[in-house]
């Protein structure tokens, strides 16, 4: 994939991210976790996957990865409505797992999937996202150790954006580097420029090729910066100075790729394309309407528990009474 294709994904991700924030402010979405500033890390890494056999395991902030993998974006944003299990897109078709709000949660899922890929011999590689804050979770350490022992085809992709909500990384990442921890698990670790979409793409592709060839897992630490709040309920002005945000905004990944491309006609076309995508996604999301309430009890367990059936009965009685 060339820089122009990657840039088109960057612009779609940025404009749709802005629209999602607007939708939350308008009361359409209950909550949203912005990813402004992290587009290059997400787009570059996801674009390096083979969608016919690899699988990505996101957190709740990987809109850019969803764009790069061609996920149904109406279905993706529908996840934020909280009215259905895992959103309305098909994870198997898109190779993009339902997003995970558990801190560090997708990491263990990716390692389990990678073990399955090793056993079935398809050559598939798992890519899992997590932040510098999540790197302090015990699940992440256990997953890396397990993957190292079994030489599993998995890439641990850390978006090091400098903040674990309001806690700066220097106060919770011992040693200062997530990639450096890889050596302790006997696996490859590399720190990369997370705002350079081409570097992210090449580094991830190398890690994918190594994993596919039996070289084992890789930890990629993409150094980036969260230009916005942690979530739409967060106020970053309470814990970091505005001067810092303005200074870091000069390294905006969209501005960097635009400067490298330098073709004003193409850049304008990319913005026009993004505006069209945003308009279609907004219209599609607003047209969804409410999902049937009884669906909240579907697909929770393979065999419904007695407690779940009782909850369903009480809900139906309440709904009928209204």
Residue owning tokens 């580097």 = 177
| 87 closest CA partner among 97, 318, 95 | 97
CA dihedral for 111, 116, 118, 121, sign (positive or negative): negative
Do 257 and 197 meet the contact criterion of CB atoms below 8 Å apart?
yes
Residues in CB range of 199: below 8 A, 6 or more apart: 44, 192, 193
Do 66 and 277 meet the contact criterion of CB atoms below 8 Å apart?
no
What does the alpha-carbon distance between residue 289 and residue 297 come to, in Å, rounded to a whole number?
A: 19
Q: What are phi and psi of 10, to 5 degrees?
A: -60, -45
Strands (E), the chain: 55-57, 126-131, 154-160, 163-164, 167-168, 188-193, 218-223
Active-site pick, 25, 53, 85, 239: 239
Q: Is 239 among the residues known to form the active site?
A: yes
Do 20 and 64 meet the contact criterion of CB atoms below 8 Å apart?
no
Active-site pick, 61, 226, 248, 282: 226
What does the alpha-carbon distance between residue 203 and residue 223 come to, in Å, rounded to a whole number?
A: 13
Active-site pick, 14, 15, 109, 230: 230
Determine what percent of the chain falls in helix, strand and coil, rounding each to the nearest 5: 55, 10, 35
Q: Is 76 among the residues known to form the active site?
A: no
Q: Is 230 among the residues known to form the active site?
A: yes
Q: Which residues are known to be catalytic? A: 226, 230, 239
């Amino acid at each position: 994939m060339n820089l122009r294709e990657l840039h088109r994904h960057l612009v779609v991700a940025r404009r749709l991210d802005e629209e999602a924030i607007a939708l939350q402010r308008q009361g359409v979405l209950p909550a949203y976790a912005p990813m402004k500033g992290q587009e290059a890390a997400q787009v570059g890494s996801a674009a390096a996957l083979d969608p016919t056999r690899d699988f990505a395991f996101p957190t709740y902030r990987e809109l850019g990865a969803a764009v790069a993998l061609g996920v149904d974006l109406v279905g993706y944003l529908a996840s934020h409505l909280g009215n259905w299990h895992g959103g309305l897109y098909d994870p198997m078709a898109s190779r993009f797992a339902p997003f995970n709000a558990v801190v560090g949660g997708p990491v263990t899922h990716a390692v389990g999937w990678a073990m399955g890929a090793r056993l079935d011999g398809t050559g598939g590689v798992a890519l899992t996202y997590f932040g510098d804050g999540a790197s302090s979770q015990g699940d992440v350490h256990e997953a890396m150790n397990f993957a190292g022992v079994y030489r599993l085809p998995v890439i641990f992709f850390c978006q090091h954006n400098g903040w674990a909500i309001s806690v700066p990384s220097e106060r919770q990442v011992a040693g200062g580097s997530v990639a450096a921890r890889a050596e302790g698990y006997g696996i490859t670790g590399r720190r990369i420029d997370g705002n350079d979409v081409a570097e992210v793409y090449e580094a991830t592709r190398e890690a994918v090729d190594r994993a596919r060839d039996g070289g084992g897992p890789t930890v990629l630490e993409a150094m980036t910066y969260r230009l916005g709040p942690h979530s739409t309920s967060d106020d970053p002005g309470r814990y970091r100075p505005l001067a810092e945000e303005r200074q870091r905004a000069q390294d905006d990944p969209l501005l960097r790729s635009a400067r490298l491309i330098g073709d004003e006609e193409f850049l304008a076309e990319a913005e026009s394309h993004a505006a069209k995508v945003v308009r279609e996604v907004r219209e599609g999301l607003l047209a969804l309407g409410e999902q049937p309430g009884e669906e909240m009890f579907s697909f929770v367990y393979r065999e419904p528990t007695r407690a779940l059936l009782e909850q369903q009965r009480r809900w139906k009685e309440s709904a009928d009474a209204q």
